[in-house]
Amino acid sequence: MKALKVDATSEELLDAGSTLWRKAETVAIHMFPAPLGMVEERSPFLALNKDHGAIETMKGSAIHNTKALAVRISWEVSTVKDRLDDLDDFVDAVGVMFPLDEDALAMTMGSKDALTNVWYWKANHTEPYDVLSKGFGSTERRPGSSSKLAVVAKRRGNIWDVIFTRPFQVDGGAEFAGFAPGETTGIAFAAWAGANNERSGMKSISGEFSELVIGV
Amino acid sequence: MTYAPGPNGTKAELRKSKRQVCTIIDLNKCIGCQLCVVGCKNLWTKRPGTEHMRWMNVTTNPGKGYPRDYAKKGGGFRKGKPRPGELTSMTDCGDNFQFNQKEVFFSGKGSRVHFKPTDFKGRDPSWGYNWDEDIGAGEWPNPYFFYIPRKCNHCSNPACLAACPRNAIYKREEDGIVVIDQERCDGHRHCIEACPYSAIYFNPVSEKSEKCIMCFPRVEKGIAPACDRMCTGRTRAFGYLDDKRGQVYKLVKKWKVALPLHPDYGTSPNVYYVPPLGAREFAPDGSVTDKTRVPAEEMERLFGPKVHYSLRMQREEREKVRKGGKSELIDILISKNWYDRFGDFTKEPLEQYEA
């Protein structure tokens, strides 16, 4: 995926209707159920689940204005879940992951020696989380305000359209992914279908990190 | 201090405890008054999002229990392997009925309008806490039922702890109380599915899971849990399982009359029950027999095969006393001195606020 350089304010990056986004390359993201065998030690009960992974494909694109990166994801769900109507309800959610270390693996959400950073949005919240992950089960949800991570989520029928944006660099942010024009980093995706009771490791993932080129 | 290994602790570390506090509940004496439930509710579950929760609950057996049909929802371990379980709904958890007080009392229509509850979606309720109270089972003239008070069992092999992918659940090292770290919990609810007793509840406001904390802030100050102290029927004992002077040790280890509920769930619970002998059966001619009305298989289903030993021991010791003899077991069960019930935890609740 290539993040196209555009001439825009950071607020304009969040405008899904803007012509800026029409110029960006849109890629199809193949999603598959997260393999839960590897979490058996962490949760043998979670590892019993087999019916997750309802979201099979998403579309992704990215733009930047040399100061902030914006990543846009859209996907269709069979039934929209954007609130908790009962105690056994779960909501739609999406995550975009970046490595903080070149050795970090997306499949394990990093490790204690190779961290990852996830931009996470869930449909019943307006503010996103800027998550630090040191491996499966170790995530730390930091409020989006801690890094100026912003999100706009729109829905047309059963199709979610979510745009995240965040400054390239976070002040004092060794534990936040940083970006710069001309650089290449990794990007991976995860999505949770609330109607299918998906949460935690019960999700669809895009697999290992693929390249994200920050255009010049 | 609590012991919290954090996200990188192993499950074995999270399960580790040096001592274990236990509650004993004598089902022969529980009258279903719900005082334990009220004591708990007032203390812990009046916060937003906890209205439906009864960390302590008392329901009628046979019956669907609380949360509704918890015994049919799976979870726990079978032959050491995790068994999948189900989540509970707001209705299962007894809901949070709203009543038309304003309409009845302040609208001038009090003579025509009656009190009417609505459920959390504004509908006529279809189920609620103790909806099947006192129905029980059996045919006239020998119907039967008894009450089962339940709270988190603070298990030695907690399925909730095993299930939490975030390692947010751990046993406190000093007393074996199982707690959910509210900072680490992300509300994924795998613990609710895994607990075969459905003793964990989801808070939809905080979006985290909660459960009985065995009143640990009181226990740390030598005060027994609120539910145990509230019991008007002196059905409860509380203390360390390894305290040989205490009634917990004597009922569980020495006399072996107190048993866990559903030992077949594989979690090694630390709430123990003295199984009820039950009312005696009427013969067809109306005379009272020596037989109990509660079927033996029902007792075995609830408390496992050791229930027969417990019931026999209770009968034998009762008979001994009836004939003028002395019995330590019957003295404990009668509970002539209330403070003897609580081992090291006999301080008064208000003492915790004293300098």
B211 in a structural domain? yes
**What average pLDDT does range B110-131 have in this prediction?**
94
pLDDT at B6 over 70: no
- Summarised one tens digit per residue, pLDDT across range A111-145 is 999 999 999 999 999 999 999 999 999 999 999 99
Contacts of A45 in chain B (CB under 8 A): 82, 84-85, 159, 162-163, 190, 193-194
| Number of structural domains in chain B | 1
**What average pLDDT does range B337-347 have in this prediction?**
95
pLDDT band at residue A172 using 50, 70 and 90 as cut-offs: confident
Residue keyed to tokens 């964990």: B200
B100 in a structural domain? no
For position B9, what pLDDT does the model report? Answer: 78
- Summarised one tens digit per residue, pLDDT across range B202-220 is 999 999 999 999 999 999 9
The kind and range of the H/E element at B319 are helix B307-322
Calpha distance B61→A133 (Å, rounded):
46
B109 to chain A nearest CA, in Å? 33
Collapse the DSSP code of B183 into the 3-class scheme (helix H, G, I; strand E, B; otherwise coil) and give the result.
Answer: coil
B168 to chain A nearest CA, in Å? 10
B140: Cα separation from own chain's centroid: 29
Return the residue in A86, A115, A141 with the most chain B beta carbons within 10 A, the one to mutate for interface testing.
A86
The average confidence (pLDDT) of chain A is 96
Contact B88 A45 (CB under 8 A): no
By C-alpha distance, which of B6, B13, B21, B17 is closest to B216?
Answer: B21
Contact A48 B82 (CB under 8 A): yes
Across the interface, which of B82, B166, B189 has its CB nearest the CB of A44?
B82
pLDDT at B100 over 60: yes
Contacts of A84 in chain B (CB under 8 A): 204, 207
Burial class from Cβ neighbours inside 10 Å (0-12, 13-18, 19+) for residue A28 reads: exposed
B5 in a structural domain? no
- Summarised one tens digit per residue, pLDDT across range B173-191 is 999 999 999 999 999 999 9
Across the interface, which of A84, A134, A139 has its CB nearest the CB of B204?
A84
Contacts of B193 in chain A (CB under 8 A): 45
- Summarised one tens digit per residue, pLDDT across range A46-92 is 999 999 999 999 999 999 999 999 999 999 999 999 999 999 999 99
The answer for B 189-208 residues in CB contact with A (under 8 A) is 189-190, 193-194, 201-202, 204, 207
By C-alpha distance, which of B267, B246, B170, B243 is closest to B213?
Answer: B170
| Number of structural domains in chain A | 1
Nearest CA in chain B to A139: B166
Across the interface, which of B159, B162, B165 has its CB nearest the CB of A39?
B165
pLDDT at B3 over 70: no
The reply to whether B6 touches chain A by the CB within 8 Å rule is: no
For position B1, what pLDDT does the model report? Answer: 38
Contacts of B87 in chain A (CB under 8 A): 87-88, 197
Contacts of A44 in chain B (CB under 8 A): 81-82, 162-163
Q: Are A76 and A19 in contact (CB under 8 A)?
A: no
B340 to chain A nearest CA, in Å? 41
- CATH number, position B331: 3.30.70.20
User: Which range marks the domain in which residue A136 is found?
Assistant: 2-214
**What average pLDDT does range A25-44 have in this prediction?**
95
By C-alpha distance, which of B222, B226, B235, B230 is closest to B44?
Answer: B226
Contacts of B164 in chain A (CB under 8 A): 43
User: Which range marks the domain in which residue B201 is found?
Assistant: 11-93+129-353
B118 in a structural domain? no
Residue keyed to tokens 């708990």: B40
The reply to whether B164 touches chain A by the CB within 8 Å rule is: yes
B290 in a structural domain? yes
Q: Are A137 and A39 in contact (CB under 8 A)?
A: yes
A87 to chain B nearest CA, in Å? 5
Across the interface, which of A84, A86, A137 has its CB nearest the CB of B165?
A137
Nearest CA in chain A to B83: A45
**What average pLDDT does range A24-31 have in this prediction?**
97
pLDDT at B343 over 80: yes
Q: Do strands A2-5 and A57-64 pair parallel, antiparallel, or not at all (unpaired)?
A: parallel
Contacts of A88 in chain B (CB under 8 A): 87-89, 189, 202
- Summarised one tens digit per residue, pLDDT across range B271-317 is 999 999 999 999 999 999 999 999 999 999 999 999 999 999 999 99
- CATH number, position A157: 2.60.40.1190
Contact A200 B194 (CB under 8 A): no
* pTM of the predicted protein model: 0.96
> Bridge partners of B61?
B146
pLDDT band at residue B131 using 50, 70 and 90 as cut-offs: very high
Across the interface, which of A46, A88, A112 has its CB nearest the CB of B165?
A46
Contacts of A43 in chain B (CB under 8 A): 162-165, 190
Residue keyed to tokens 């090292």: B173
Contact B90 A134 (CB under 8 A): no
B120 in a structural domain? no
Contact B204 A46 (CB under 8 A): no
pLDDT at A173 over 90: no
**What average pLDDT does range B151-177 have in this prediction?**
97
pLDDT at B352 over 90: no
Contact A87 B88 (CB under 8 A): yes
Q: What are the phi and psi torsion angles at B242 (to 5°)?
A: -95, 10
The reply to whether B306 touches chain A by the CB within 8 Å rule is: no
Residue keyed to tokens 């065995």: B214
Residue type, B52: H
Q: Which residues of A touch B (CB under 8 A)?
A: 39, 41-46, 48, 84, 86-88, 112, 134, 136-139, 141, 197, 199-201
Return the residue in B13, B51, B164 with the most chain A beta carbons within 10 A, the one to mutate for interface testing.
B164
Contacts of A42 in chain B (CB under 8 A): 165, 167
Residue by residue, DSSP assigns B52-90 as T--SSEEEEESS-TTTTTGGGSB-SEETTEE--B----T
B117 in a structural domain? no
Contacts of B179-183 with C-beta under 8 Å, sequence gap 24+, read: B179/B2, B179/B213, B179/B216, B180/B208, B180/B209, B180/B210, B180/B211, B181/B4, B182/B206, B182/B208, B182/B210
Calpha distance A142→A167 (Å, rounded):
16
